[in-house]
Amino acid sequence: MRRILVPLDGSPLARWALPWALSLRAALRGEIELVGVHSPLDIDLGPSVEATWDDDVRKAERATLEAEVERIAEAGHPRPDEVLLEGTPGPAIVARASEMGSDLIVLATHGRGGLSRAWLGSVASFVSRHARAPILVVHPVDDGTEPDLRDLPLIDTVLLPLDGSPFSEAATGYASEIAQAFKAGVVLMRAVPIPLIVGSPYLPHAAQTFADEREQRLGAANGYLRQCAARVKVDGPVRTLVVETEPAHAIPAAASEEGADMIVMATHGRGALMRAIVGSVADKVVRTSPVPVLLVRPGKKEAESAGWEAE
């Protein structure tokens, strides 16, 4: 993951992606491209006025990107490339990442949903559903402060949620690469839903059935994680964790309890309608995670093995 793309919209919130992008660039010995997007003005003031105003906005956006490059250089980091694209932000960013062969997209989002979603949220949602490159989603600190580009975040522990499928295991390589770059440890986790009890739990046979099924599920989950852990080659410690609850709740909770600095997980990238109907573990994790989440889009083989079509 050497080619890192960072979308910026000129807002203070978007800048919170920069410390993570710079930290990853240094650890992975990569390079960064800052990307802004100029969208045509949706107003009706007459051709001449619109052209002048549009040109002024474009110049201001380009100046904002150039100023960001200067801030990064002043903080002691290599000067990144920068480009101002034309078009709609989400599609323009996805197209640029594809054109440049970006290995990673790092962006900030407040993670709000529905009608309250603004530029950052809607763009992050679009990019996460359409970009082929992995996407690191960072929640900004919305208290009026600016990120310190001289004090970069480090990664000591990576949390890797798995569900038993090759689809989820497609994120293993990325988790290992990041952990190895930072000399960090990896925690492989699996969430095991509590089995449904048929009949009264107070009847001896029902209680025994519940206990047997629970033991079987936990044993299988622990065995599966041990097999996966054997394939993780990093210098840091590798641990396994099985929890009994739904994945969407278990993953952010485990990140907090295990002191993880990043979650790395696979996402099927389903569209907004399907996500609204059946929900998405990755979507829920991104919205509630206490740490950045790296979303990996598995290839066709892994997607088909999980019963989904690769997009």
pLDDT tens-place string over residues 98-122: 999 999 999 998 654 443 344 446 7
Residues 202 and 293 in one domain: yes
The rounded mean pLDDT for the chain is 84
- CATH classification at residue 91: 3.40.50.620
- Percent of the chain clearing pLDDT 70 (strictly above): 79
Do 17 and 132 lie in one domain? The reply is yes
169 found inside a domain: yes
Tell me the mean pLDDT in the region 231-255: 94
Same domain (yes/no): 78, 189 = no
Retrieve residue 109's tokens: 């989002």
Domain of residue 256, residue span: 157-305
Kindly compute the dihedral angle of the four CA atoms of residues 1, 122, 292, 24, in this order, to the nearest 10 degrees: 30
| Residue 130 covered by a domain | yes
Instruction: Decide if pLDDT at 307 tops 50.
Output: no
pLDDT in tens, 166-201: 888 989 999 999 999 999 999 999 998 766 555 555
134 in the same domain as 164: no
Are 73 and 162 part of one and the same domain? Answer: no
In a domain, residue 168? The reply is: yes
Asked if residue 162 lies in contact with residue 228, where contact means CB atoms within 8 angstroms, the answer is yes
Same domain, 168 and 281: yes
The identity of residue 203, as a single letter, is L
Q: Residue 187 forms beta bridges with which residues?
A: 159, 239
User: Does residue 170 belong to any structural domain of this protein?
Assistant: yes
Tokens representing residue 267 in the block: 């996402």
Question: Are residues 164 and 300 part of one domain?
Answer: yes
In a domain, 143, yes or no: no
In terms of average pLDDT, the best of 36-45, 64-73, 159-168, 198-207 is: 64-73
Looking at 77, 103, 138, the residue that finishes a domain is: 138
The pLDDT of residue 190: 95
- Counting the structural domains of the chain, the total is 2
Is the same domain home to 120 and 180? no
* 293-296 and 31-38 beta bridge pairing: unpaired
Asked whether residue 95 falls in the same domain as residue 187, the answer is: no
Is residue 131 a part of any domain in this protein? Answer: yes
In a domain, 113, yes or no: yes
Is 132 in the same domain as 161?
Answer: no
pLDDT at 30 over 80: yes
- Hey, what amino acid is at 122? S
65 & 193 share domain:
no
pLDDT at 284 over 70: yes
- Within-domain flag for 150: no
Q: What integer pLDDT is reported at residue 43 of this predicted model?
A: 62
Average pLDDT on 279-306 reads: 75
